[in-house]
Structure formats: structure tokens, C-alpha cells
Amino acid sequence: MQSKLKRVDFIFSSNEESKKVLLKTFRKTREEILDELITSRLKGRGGAGFSTGMKWKFAKSEVADQKYIICNADEGEPGTFKDRKILDKALFKVLGGMAIAGKVVGANKGFIYLRGEYKFLVPQLKEGISDFHKLLKNELDFDFNIEIFLGSGSYICGEETALIESMEGKRGEPRNKPPFPTQYGYLGKPTVVNNVETLALVMMVCQVEAENFKKLGIHDSTGSKLFSISGDTPKSGIYELEFGMSLIDFVEEFGDGDTKSVQVGGASGFCVPRKKFETTTIGYKEDLDGDSLPTGGSMMLFNSSRSMYNVLHNYLEFFTNESCGQCTPCRIGCQQLLKGIKAIKRGDKSEEYLKQLLELTDTMKLTSKCGLGQSVANSFSSIVENFREEMIY
Amino acid sequence: MTDTVKIKIDGIEVKLEKNASILDAAKQLNIKIPTLCHHEDLCVAGNCRVCVVEQEGVHNLVPSCSTPALDGMIIHTMTPKVRKARKDLIALLVSEHNTQCTTCYRSKNCELQDLAAEYNIDNEVYLSVLKPSKVDRSSWSIEKDDSKCIRCQRCVRTCAELQHVNALDVAYRGKDMKISTFMDLHMNEVVCVNCGQCIIHCPTGALTERRYYDNIWDAIGDPKKHVIINTAPSVRVALGETLGFPVGTRVTKKMVTALKKIGFDAVLDTDFAADVTILEEGHELLHRLKRVFVDKEKVSLPMITSCSPGWVKFIEHMYPNYLSHLSTCKSPQQMFGALAKTYYAKKKGIDPKDIVSVAGMPCSAKKYEANRPEMKSSGYNDVDAGLTTREIGHMIKETGVDFLSLEETEFDSLMGESSGAGVIFGATGGVMEAALRTVYEVVTGREVPFKNLNITPVRGLKGVKEATIKIENCVPAFSFLEGVELKIAIAHGLINARIVMDQVEKGTSPYHFIEIMACPGGCIGGGGQPIPTNCEIRQKRIDAIYEEDANMPVRKSHEVKEVQELYRDFLKEPLGQKSHHLLHTKYTKRNRY
């Protein structure tokens, strides 16, 4: 059967081509590059999907003696493992994206915030960065220095303000926003924090140009996207696909024939049951009929042998441990959800209690300080509402 | 760009300075938004989330404490969405809380209890996620009960921002997140200086003072014991707050009556010892200056006051190489204790072993100080127990006396007479002012050249205050000070102590004499004072202290009759042999962990 998914081969394509792209891009003005990026409608690939061009624009407009570019490589979302491969196989594109960001924003210092567990990548990253520094100096005469900062294993440090706090030697706890990092970031200076894949895709926009980039994908979900595919699938791994695919097409290609649900976007994402595969699109919301789900690229498939109660229990345990603990709704809310579903399962609480817990997720969504606490509701409500009987019996 | 913004809250337009928060705006309009992690003294944390409000055009609720008011914002503080979320948040906090309010020291003075009552929280909604924990009673001063902690981090911010001690910090994450010490050590094993600022900034009963008043009840009930209490100047201007009086009411004489009713055999005045401190410390300063100017010796200057036990432990930990700058004088509490079991015992004909000496203090560090091993110069524990203003309030309530309608009584004698100089020890700058009133007169034979003896440059809530006093026309004995410009500084709150101490460390300190108090505002803002304490309340208590001073017949320490008697009959002279033995002390170098 012919696949309905369109494979894209950019990120892992030849780095030689990328070098030419970088040289070409550096001949453009900051404004030209920024225009191109905004026109491309490239959105951050970490999961939240904020416009990359706008983020750069905000940072560019700030007046400061020092600005920073940070590459967020604290890949910690359960089921996501694409950034590791990008750093391993396509480092040049990431560094290129950082240098371009540096040029546009007016920063001469960059950091790669590397997930602690990816320490084994450090020697090769250092080598790559060293070569890259030479290239910047010799061929572009551009002063931009990149350093590696190793994280310490906390999930929350993937949140950009917690990441910055951690870099400053403090507890990795999200900050109050506003101010945003583009105004007040690392050491109080304007800072752009971009995901690894986003930075690599900046090179794609520069290579194929915005109009061609936009031809890939749909509506506001332009370009390609790397998917980390895991679970009950015969073809687990990393795939670069055109953004905006239909979930039914995806399951047809990657499912094992018995797919019961797909968790889109990791533990903080949404669970889509079989009956909604056809109406669900993987991409951003605007102008789409049916459900549309953004994702950082994690796609976990579950077949009928899996207990969705166990899946949810696993996620909640994860959040209970990985919440930074500073704000009330997230710290206590996660514990209540976990304790609550256990009590219902045991029969200590009636099934009516699920309603109370769903209301609690509303509060968590409305009042949590950062995306972690706000997004626990996603997996909880989508699993509980679609697999209610599995929670109770 | 204008410097003001206009926003609308609950339909009312309000004009604000730029950078003000939504919470500031609401306060301006007298709209009450509940808060827990917010405290006027501290930076904004935005972590309890109970202050959330609805901002038009924004889906999620926004925390009013940390959200800056921007021009044109439309805010609603009491929509069903807001109310429901707040109620849920409070219920969550309650579910993590030890709700044995009936046995809690902070019951009826607890911000969580108040909110739970206001929002009528149903404790059955959520399952309890309270973690088992043990109360840390290792410190003489501070009790830490994690089961009552709501993780608002007010204590952490207090310890860092106001005191720069950093004994408390956040540890672990997620469900295990808690407030802890370095390496989870006990409170008595860390750099904690016992100042108790964490206690008065804690919204609940998680941090409280170690209570000793049950032992005092026992002593009072023992006919063989002669139980005396001396009360510090700041207690009399704050005790009323715990007993139904408005902030800033002076209740000195009612307090004496109440303490007599409780059963204390004598109610005496710490101010008496404060006056003695002035004589000792004033002469110590002059002695040091003489050694510098006349004998050309290398003597540690500036000399720094040692009345505040929180400050003393701070310098022992943080600047252990500069202990020689500290005055060797004990604090008034400890001078009082040492004299109570020697001079007082002798004059009254009581065996010192039967005297139970209690100190009523605005302070939690005084509890630790009373238990320092070197504080036994009378041959007994000089002070048997230090009680906070709050504990005294509890004792009075426990007796059931109607404080508001009590008659007024004077302090007992001996050691009950004092001057206005002793009273102002309670406010930042007070020790300095009291010392100057005496020292200047000793040196020149004239009163300090300030109207009504009010040395206003040393007063007020500025973090570090400084002044210069030119000494002219000295009496012959002090002619070496002729023309000297005496430079002084006053710091309160240990973050400000850092500023003046860093100068001392660098060798750039221009001062001769520095007064340092551990707590913001001085003792009136001490860790043993009624809760809440904030800037406005501190100011009102300070006003009351100066009012008390102004109303005293004697304003200078050296003019107090009982003090003169003490020197004539017992001590002979300031810095004499007996003084040295009873009233002076030594310090211990400590490390930072």
C-alpha cells in the first residue's frame, strides 16, 4: 500500500550543503533574514509552538549590551528522542541556526543546554563547535562563541525560564512571566531559547526559502517535523515527515494493526482514542476542522493489550516527581490526581470522584505557573474521558 | 511614554505608577485579594497562586502579585471562575497540611486557617497528602514543623533577602519538595542565627519559637521559688497587639499588673540593665578611644554593639576574624540575669538558687543566648528562660484576665527603675542615641547638643544610617578627644550589617562606633514580636518607643538612681573587676556550615 505520509529528508541531509547555506545567509541583512523567518511561519519545535520569527524579533528589539542564544537540548519529554539524533548527526545545522540567531538578534554568545544524560555527546559536540568557531572566524568574520552547559537531570529545566535559572546556578524553577526571556533572560539579559530542531529548521528556511518551506505542511503548521515514534509499532524510530498529517494516515503506516490509542506529545500531550483518529490532525490549531494537536514530536502508540489506567498512572507518577514543587496547583494537584485514581481503582472513592479530579485539572490549567502544571490536564482529561471504564474497573 | 498606567478592576478605573502590580492596584481600591506567599517585606514569589484574578482577553488566570499592571487591562477579582480556582487552591493546601489546628500554637493567628474559614473549605474533598515528618526541636530558639509548611518560601526569602544568612532553602522537588537546611541538618547545626525573622514571616505554624512558659508556670506554682521577670522595651509597645489593642499602643503599666496577676514575685525592667549596658559600653568605647589616641595602641575600631544575640551569632559565623570589634558587654538580658542572682539576691536576702529569672523579650535569639555556656557568671544560669512577647501574651490569655480593663502598676524595685535611654534600645538607633546621651556628657560635661535630647539623625528605618558628632570643650580627663569628629553608623537587618561589616573587613570602615541590630527596625521588629510584623507596624511601634522615652522623667542612663546605687554599693565602677566578671563576655569563632 502506498503511504499517504510524505517523507522529508532535510535535517539529516548533507552538512556540506548547509555550509553553503550559512555563507549565503550571512550575506543577507538581519532584517532580510528575520522577514524570511516570519514569512515561513516556522513555529518552535519544543512543543509549545511559538513563532520563532516573532521570538527573535522581540529579542532583536531589546537594547542591551549583551544578549544570549540558548539551544534547548534538555530533551526530557517522555517518548521524545529526536534531539539526541540531531545533535549526533546534524550538529552543523543546529550551530548554523544559533549563529544566524546571533546575527539577527545581536548576540555573540550561545549556549547548548544539554540534557545531563546526553553527556556522552560532549566530546563530539566540542569538536564540532571548535570547527564551527573556526569557520565563523575565518570565513564569516563573525564573533560568536558557543559553550555547552550540562543539565542535572530535571525535567522542568526544559521549561525555558527554569533552564535559565539552572544555568545561573539556582534551583531549576520557572520564573514569573512577564518578563519573558527575550526581555529578561540569562543573567537578566535578552535571551532567545530555541529547541534543537527549531534551530536546525532555521537552516531549512534559509536553504529552501520561506515560500518553499510553506509549501510543506498545512495552514499554520508549515515545514517538516521530526517524530519520535515508540510503543506498539513495528517501526519505532525517528522520522522526518511533512507537518500537518492526519492521524489515521499515521496509524495506518506506523500502527501494528491493533492500535487502540496514540499519545501525541508525550506525557504532557493528548491521548487520542481509535474513534478519533480520522478527525485528528497533527499540527497547530488555527483554521483546522476537527481536533488538531501540536506536538514536540513524541508519538506513542498503544495497542489493545495496554491498560490505559497503567499509562495514566505512569504519567502521573512522572509528574508528581518532576514538578518543581514551587506552585500549589502543580505540586499538590499532581499528587491528588495520582492518589485519586488509585483510590477510585481500589474502590475507596466512587467513580463520581473522577468528576472532581477533572475539575481539579481545570484549576491546574488555569492557575499553574508554567507549562508543566498547565499541561498535566491534557493527558489526564483525554485518557479519563476516553477510557473512563478502564479507570474504574 | 507616561509614568502612569490606567487599569480597570471590578469596573473601577485606577491610576497607578508604572511597574505596579495588579495586587497594588487592588489595594489602592481597597479590594481584598487573598495572598499567602506574598509579604510586603519580601520579593514577589508568585508560587501560592491564591491571588489569581481574571484578566479580560487571557484564558488562564493571572497571579495578581506578580503580574504588572499594563495600561488598559481589565481585571475581575471575584468571578465564579476566580472563586472556584481559589477555593480549589486553598483546599489543595489544606490537603497537604497538618490540620490539627486545635493544638497549633498559631491557631487563630494563621493565614491558611483564616483563608480556609473564609472560603469554607471542605476537608473531605481531597485526600490527605500530608507527609510524615518530625518536628525539629534541636534549636534553643526555633521549632520547625514541616507538617504545617505550605511551601510559600517566605522564610527562605526572609533568610536570604532580609538577613543574608541563608540557613533555610528549598530542597528536593515535586511531591518531596520542602524547606530545609544545608544537607538536611538539624536547625542547631546550621548557620541559623536564631533571629526568628522566619517565624514572624511564616503564615502558619511551621516555624515557631521554642516555648518555655510551661516551665515558668511550674516555677510560679512552687512556693520555694522566687520568680522574677524583666521585660524588654519593645515588649511594652507590642504586647497590646496580642491582647486586643491597636498597633502602637503602649501597655507598660497594664503589662506589669498582668504579670503580677500571673504570679511573678517581681516584675522588673530590662531597661535598668540597658542603662547599665550604656555605662559599661560607653566607657568601653572611651577606653578604646583612649588607647588609640593616647597610648597609640592597635585597638579594634570601630567598636560594634553586642546587644543583639542574633547579630552576635551572625558575626561569629560570617566574620569570625573580626570578633574583637564587638563590645565585650553582655546584652541587657544577660546583664540583668547576672545581676539578679548576685546583686538582687544579696539585697533582697534571697538564696540565688531559689531565684528563677525570666526574661520577656521581643526576640527568639535571646532563648539561645540564655543557654550559651558562658552565661553562668553568677554561678547559676543567669537567665532561666527567655520568653517572647507572644508567649507572654499567651500566658496572660491563659490566666483569663481582662487585659483591656486592667489597672496600671509601676515596675517593682530593685532593678525596676530606668531611663528613656534604656527604653529606646528597642528601636534601631536607640542604643547609639542612648550611648551618645551619656558619652557626650561624660566627655564634655554638657548634654548632647540636640533639642530635647532627641538625636534624630540616628532614628528612622533607613537600612544604614550614619552621623558625625564633633567633640569640643572636653573636660580635662578627656582632652585627648578635643576636636575629634566621632563617626558613627547604625545598621539593622543583617543584610545591612553585611554592608558595614564588609567595610570593616576591607579596612575601609570610617566609623568609631557602630550599632547593629539583627532585625529590621531593631527589637520592635524582633522575631519574638506579634505577627504580623511589617513596615507600617514597625514604624508604629517605633513611634510608641520614642513616645515612651519622651514621657520618662529621666532620659539619660547615668542619671538613674538605682543604677547609681548599683555602682555605689556593688559594682564600684564601670569596667571594674566585678563588672568584668558579671557583665562582660567573650565570643566564639564559628564556621559557615
Arithmetic mean of pLDDT, A151-173: 95
pLDDT surpasses 90 at A46:
no
Q: Give B38-57 pLDDT, tens digit per residue.
A: 999 999 999 999 999 999 99
Q: Measured in whole angstroms, how far is the alpha carbon of residue A20 from the centre of its chain?
A: 28
pLDDT surpasses 70 at A285:
no
pLDDT surpasses 80 at A291:
no
Q: Give B464-498 pLDDT, tens digit per residue.
A: 999 999 999 999 999 999 999 999 999 999 999 99
Q: Residue B109: inside a domain, yes or no?
A: yes
Q: What is the pLDDT of residue A286?
A: 57
- Please tell me whether the overall predicted TM-score, pTM, comes out greater than 0.90 for this model: yes
Shared domain for B44 and B139, answered yes or no, is no
Residue ending a domain, among B78, B104, B121, is: B78
Active site residue B366: yes
Q: What is the pLDDT of residue A180?
A: 96
Arithmetic mean of pLDDT, B94-116: 97
CATH classification of the domain holding B113: 3.30.70.20
Take residue A189 and report the three cell numbers written for it: 539579559
User: Does B46 contact chain A (CB < 8 Å)?
Assistant: yes
Instruction: Return contacts of B19-23, CB within 8 angstroms, 24+ apart.
Output: B19/B68, B20/B68, B20/B69, B21/B64, B21/B65, B21/B66, B21/B67, B21/B68, B21/B69, B22/B53, B22/B55, B22/B62, B22/B64, B22/B65, B22/B67, B22/B68, B22/B69, B22/B73, B22/B75, B23/B51, B23/B64, B23/B65
pLDDT surpasses 60 at A289:
no
Q: Residue B590: inside a domain, yes or no?
A: no
Confidence at B114, pLDDT banded by 50, 70, 90: very high
* B269 half-sphere exposure, CB direction, 13 A CA radius: 30
Question: What residues does each domain of chain A span?
Answer: 15-214, 216-303, 308-392
Shared domain for B58 and B188, answered yes or no, is no
Q: Kindly determine whether residue B46 and residue A369, on different chains, have CB atoms separated by under 8 Å.
A: yes
Supply the CATH classification number for the domain A15-214: 3.40.50.11540
User: Does B66 contact chain A (CB < 8 Å)?
Assistant: yes
Arithmetic mean of pLDDT, B198-217: 97
Take residue A169 and report the three cell numbers written for it: 546556578
Q: Residue B242: inside a domain, yes or no?
A: no
| Beta bridge partner(s), residue B323 | none
**Chain B CA closest to residue A173:** B173
pLDDT surpasses 60 at A288:
no
Distances (CA, A) of A86 to A185, A199, A200, A376: 25, 10, 8, 27
Question: Measuring CA to CA, which residue among A2, A212, A199, A17 is closest to residue A99?
Answer: A199
CB atoms within 10 A of CB B446: 12
Query: In a 3-state reduction of DSSP, which class is residue B269?
Result: strand
Domain of residue B102 covers: 93-209
Q: Give B19-36 pLDDT, tens digit per residue.
A: 899 999 999 999 999 999
Same topology between domain A15-214 and domain A308-392: no
Arithmetic mean of pLDDT, B132-160: 97
Q: Provide the mean pLDDT of chain A.
A: 94
Q: Residue B491: inside a domain, yes or no?
A: yes
Q: Give B272-321 pLDDT, tens digit per residue.
A: 999 999 999 999 999 999 999 999 999 999 999 999 999 999 999 999 99
Domain at A216-303: CATH architecture: Roll (3.10)
Q: What is the pLDDT of residue A293?
A: 78
The single residue of B143, B209, B316, B369 carrying the catalytic annotation is B369
Residue ending a domain, among B49, B78, B107, is: B78
Which helix or strand (DSSP H or E) is residue A191 part of? Answer: strand A191-195
Shared domain for B73 and B108, answered yes or no, is no
The single residue of B143, B284, B391, B433 carrying the catalytic annotation is B284
Q: Residue B412: inside a domain, yes or no?
A: no
Shared domain for B569 and B445, answered yes or no, is yes
User: Nearest-5° angle of CA B28, CA B33, CA B34?
Assistant: 140
pLDDT surpasses 70 at A287:
no
pLDDT surpasses 80 at B166:
yes
Confidence at B580, pLDDT banded by 50, 70, 90: very high
CATH classification of the domain holding B448: 3.40.950.10
Shared domain for B100 and B185, answered yes or no, is yes
- How many folded domains does chain B comprise? 3
Q: Residue B285: inside a domain, yes or no?
A: yes
Question: Which candidate from B95, B150, B173 shows the least CB-CB separation from A324?
Answer: B173
Take residue B443 and report the three cell numbers written for it: 566627655
Shared domain for B434 and B489, answered yes or no, is yes
Distances (CA, A) of B522 to A332, B232, B309: 38, 12, 12
CB atoms within 10 A of CB A120: 9
Q: What is the DSSP string of B279-323?
A: HHHHHHHHHHHHHHHTS------SEE----HHHHHHHHHH-GGGG
Q: What is the pLDDT of residue B2?
A: 66
A371, amino acid identity: G
Q: Kindly determine whether residue A363 and residue B60, on different chains, have CB atoms separated by under 8 Å.
A: no
User: Nearest-5° angle of CA A154, CA A160, CA A166?
Assistant: 50
Shared domain for B124 and B36, answered yes or no, is no
Please tell me the class of the A308-392 domain: mainly alpha
Query: In a 3-state reduction of DSSP, which class is residue B571?
Result: helix
Q: Give A343-390 pLDDT, tens digit per residue.
A: 999 999 999 999 999 999 999 999 999 999 999 999 999 999 999 999
Active site residue B284: yes
Which helix or strand (DSSP H or E) is residue B387 part of? Answer: strand B385-388
Shared domain for B574 and B467, answered yes or no, is yes
Q: Residue B464: inside a domain, yes or no?
A: yes
Active site residue B535: no
Residue ending a domain, among B169, B189, B209, is: B209
CATH classification of the domain holding B18: 3.10.20.740
Interface of A to B at Cβ within 8 Å reads: 154, 156, 171, 173, 176, 178, 319-329, 331-336, 339-340, 343, 349, 356, 359-360, 363, 365-369, 374
What is the percent of chain A where pLDDT is above 90?
A: 91
Q: Kindly determine whether residue A320 and residue B174, on different chains, have CB atoms separated by under 8 Å.
A: yes
Take residue A228 and report the three cell numbers written for it: 519520535
A68, amino acid identity: Y
* B379 half-sphere exposure, CB direction, 13 A CA radius: 10
Q: Give A205-242 pLDDT, tens digit per residue.
A: 999 999 999 999 987 889 999 999 999 999 999 999 99
Assess: ipTM above 0.90: yes
Confidence at B340, pLDDT banded by 50, 70, 90: very high
pLDDT surpasses 70 at B550:
yes
Question: Which candidate from A324, A339, A360 shows the least CB-CB separation from B88?
Answer: A360
Q: Provide the mean pLDDT of chain B.
A: 96
The single residue of B313, B330, B341, B366 carrying the catalytic annotation is B366
Active site residue B405: no
Distances (CA, A) of B516 to B309, B395, B474, B511, B547: 10, 31, 28, 13, 22
Q: Give A87-107 pLDDT, tens digit per residue.
A: 999 999 999 999 999 999 999
Query: In a 3-state reduction of DSSP, which class is residue B345?
Result: helix
Q: How far is A180 from chain B (nearest CA, A)?
A: 12
Active site residue B280: no
**Chain A CA closest to residue B96:** A332
Active site residue B281: yes
Confidence at A290, pLDDT banded by 50, 70, 90: low
Shared domain for B554 and B442, answered yes or no, is yes
| Rounded distance between C-alpha atoms, residue A18 and residue A128, angstroms | 14
